[in-house]
Amino acid sequence: MSQQARETPPGPDGRPFVGNTLQFADDPLTFIEDAAADYGPVAYYELGGEPIYQVSDPDLVEHVLVHNNQAYEKGEVFNNSLRPTLGNGLLTSEGEFWREQRHTMQPAFHPRMIQSYADTMVAYTERMLDDWTDGDVIDVHEEMMQLTVEIAAKTLFDVDIREEEEAIGDALAAVMDHSSNNLRRPISVPDWIPTKENRRFERALDDLNDVVDRIVHDYRNGEPRGTDDVDESRSDPSASQNASRSDDVVSLLLRADGPDGDGLSDEQIRDEIVTILLAGHETTALALTYTLHALGENPTQEDLLHAEVDGLDGAPGFGDLDALDYTDRAVTEGMRLYPPVWQLLREASEPDEIGGYRIPEGATVGVQQWVLHHDDRYYDDPWDFRPDRWTDDFKRNLPSYAYFPFGGGPRRCIGDRFALLEARLALATIARDWRTRPQHDLSFAPSITLRPDGAVEMRVERR
């Protein structure tokens, strides 16, 4: 650390005892935008008694996530909100245990395996569309949440959960609400106090754990794990032939060794499956929801997407990805404009220096996708939905961490390729036959993810 490093970055004035908590809670997105605009790439404020160092420069973000990543961990603020739900799963674990768990599950996200998931992604999207009626107004976010959890369960666990999807969806919504509320509140109500929300959370967690326990039980006993009514053989039959189903997540976990050399405990297996189920569907659902909303508000861009998918020979598949260039750009732009993960929190495990400022051990560092994805130094008209900006030349000249929807460094999302494939194929499948017409502007309730504030209603029209 240099001798010239300064102690505390500039930042907005706070109030006695509560710091900047009330300002942030009123409108988190505007608060972090203003902090970056007014105080520069490193800003300081206090939330709920915690000092926060906000970082909004690509090179400094890369320092935290990549070059000096060993000096940072997920930390107390992040883990306190998620550990009651995810236990010691991949998203919350640290150190050597985390590295072993990521290594264990990596084969399920190998490109060969991801290719084998393409047919299911398309088939399940078509199954969802069979229930749409021309002219209906639907909550597209709810539809995308249901779709992506069904795809995650089938591809990663080899389970068709549609018959019990409503119960699982309600359970997932409850545990996500609980985790999100814990993160947003300056002082959280302890889980052991029997409030209405805590009772809902406990019931939901019990329901979710019961489902996961049944999945694991069926795997161990070689029992059928659900049947479905979709045809997954259209897009690229060779993909399924080349991928071993013994490399799905549950099989990998059941074969893995624990810290003591024995197999993983039932609790640890359950933590990992719940983590993958939660993390494996919400961000993709948000990306699809917001991209469909943006396309519906921009008919010119929507027409370009429709022209592209109309040029395909039948339903989209893995072999069509090269032909889905505009689809890829639309998804990329949707995640730029509305990043499903709008900020990442890290805790300094040792003193560091960022942008000429001392970062003490134990301090929370926040790196903001929301701020950088709308920075006019890197994006012309940053609040406009413009998929055509994503040319090869533009991407080559864009700083690495001016766009980072999946994080970065060793803890970059393990399922990033999975999510991108799913988003592209699902969007192309929807666009073949449907248009979406938003019924209201977007509003957000940002927590761990950039969740919508209420339903995202759109009228669906058959083309």
Does residue 396 contact residue 366 with C-beta atoms inside 8 Å?
no
Q: Is 335 inside any structural domain?
A: no
> Do residues 41 and 120 both lie within one domain?
no
CA–CA dist 287, 405 (Å, integer): 10
pLDDT digit string, tens, across residues 121-161: 999 999 999 999 999 999 999 999 999 999 999 999 888 88
> Do residues 135 and 267 both lie within one domain?
yes
Write phi, then psi, for 220 (nearest 5 degrees): -65, -30
CA–CA dist 324, 200 (Å, integer): 43
Q: Is 191 inside any structural domain?
A: yes
Question: What is the identity of the amino acid at 346?
Answer: R
**Cα–Cα nearest to 177, from 81, 100, 93:** 81
CA–CA dist 159, 277 (Å, integer): 12
> Do residues 395 and 421 both lie within one domain?
no
> Do residues 98 and 114 both lie within one domain?
yes
Query: Would you state the structure tokens that stand for residue 450, as one six-digit string?
Result: 């950039």
Q: Is 228 inside any structural domain?
A: yes
The secondary element (H helix, E strand) that includes residue 43 is strand 42-47
User: Which domain does 274 fall in, by range?
Assistant: 93-325+412-462
CA–CA dist 284, 416 (Å, integer): 10
Q: Is 337 inside any structural domain?
A: no
Tell me the CATH number at 19: 1.10.630.10
Burial degree of 209 (CB within 10 A; 0-12, 13-18, 19+):
middle
Does residue 280 contact residue 413 with C-beta atoms inside 8 Å?
no
Domain count, the chain: 2
Q: Is 454 inside any structural domain?
A: yes
CA–CA dist 143, 452 (Å, integer): 13
> Do residues 319 and 350 both lie within one domain?
no
The pLDDT assigned to 235 comes to 44
Question: What is the identity of the amino acid at 129?
Answer: L
Q: Is 336 inside any structural domain?
A: no
**Cα–Cα nearest to 209, from 266, 285, 153:** 266
* Averaged pLDDT of the chain: 89
Domain boundary among 365, 385, 404: 404
pLDDT digit string, tens, across residues 411-449: 999 999 999 999 999 999 999 999 999 999 999 999 889
SS3 17: coil
Q: Is 306 inside any structural domain?
A: yes
CA–CA dist 306, 435 (Å, integer): 9
Domain boundary among 384, 404, 424: 404
- DSSP assigned state of 341: S
> Do residues 208 and 151 both lie within one domain?
yes
Please report the DSSP string for 403-423 in residue order.
--TT--GGGS-TTHHHHHHHH
Q: What percentage of residues in the chain have a pLDDT greater than 70?
A: 90
**Cα–Cα nearest to 215, from 166, 266, 149:** 266
Question: What is the four-CA torsion angle of 149, 416, 445, 20, rounded to 10 degrees?
Answer: 140
> Do residues 156 and 257 both lie within one domain?
yes
> Do residues 72 and 103 both lie within one domain?
no
> Do residues 49 and 174 both lie within one domain?
no
Q: Is 330 inside any structural domain?
A: no
Q: Any idea which of 14-23, 111-120, 352-361 has the lowest mean pLDDT?
A: 14-23
The pLDDT assigned to 106 comes to 92
> Do residues 228 and 358 both lie within one domain?
no
SS3 458: strand
pLDDT digit string, tens, across residues 295-332: 999 999 999 999 999 999 999 999 999 999 999 999 99
Longest C-alpha distance within the chain, in Å? Answer: 67
CA–CA dist 335, 291 (Å, integer): 8
> Do residues 445 and 313 both lie within one domain?
yes
> Do residues 280 and 299 both lie within one domain?
yes
Domain boundary among 356, 384, 404: 404
The pLDDT assigned to 236 comes to 44
